[in-house]
Amino acid sequence: FAHRLQAMALLRRANVGNVPVVFDLDDIEHKVLGRAVASPPVWRLKKLLLLQVPVLRRMESWAVRKAIRTFVCSEQDAAEVSQAFRSDRVRTIPNALPVPVAAPLPDAQTVLFLGVHNYQPNLVGAEFLVHEIWPRVRRQHPYAQLLIAGKDCELIRGFNQPPEGVHFLGFVPDLDQLYAGTRVVACPI
């Protein structure tokens, strides 16, 4: 079992021959790099990182061909990987939480951001929401509350002195209850 492209690269270097390999491509690496380059922080030569995309795509192609099965997280990723690398051995295993049952929206002006905050895209997204977007929301809706939930909230800038209306909840064991009190869910996509 090889989790992510880095593990497949180690297998390639080790020249494991015909050992059956199951490949977990939980995020398409060349797309991850493209998103990272397009996201803050920005520096002058950051776009040069895109020179790595052809190498990543070649390695992804090799890994998908080498594996007896490749797992991805969405039907969209499965279709893209299958087509791009001409493989019929790609399968979807969702890695997200189940969507909560539809319920009436609460009257409270609550926004929820849920994620694991030691994951860089979530951390960047949470900080952008808290420091760039949330002050604008509060000017228009002074009673609005932003709930930041999930593991490692303390990594988010402002955790020790939260801005007005921002609440860092950390790990929440009952997500159904959390969603029931939430009017809007924000996602770092």
Amino acid identity, residue 92?
Answer: T
How much helix, strand and coil, in percent to the nearest 5, is found in the chain? 45, 15, 40
Tens-of-pLDDT digits for all 189 residues of the chain?
A: 999 999 998 888 887 778 899 999 988 999 999 999 998 888 999 999 999 999 999 999 999 999 999 999 999 999 999 999 999 999 999 876 666 677 788 889 999 999 999 999 999 999 999 999 999 999 999 999 999 999 999 999 999 999 999 999 999 999 888 988 999 999 876
CA dist., res. 189 & res. 186, Å (int): 9
Instruction: Check: pTM over 0.75? Answer yes or no.
Output: no
3-state secondary structure of 14: helix
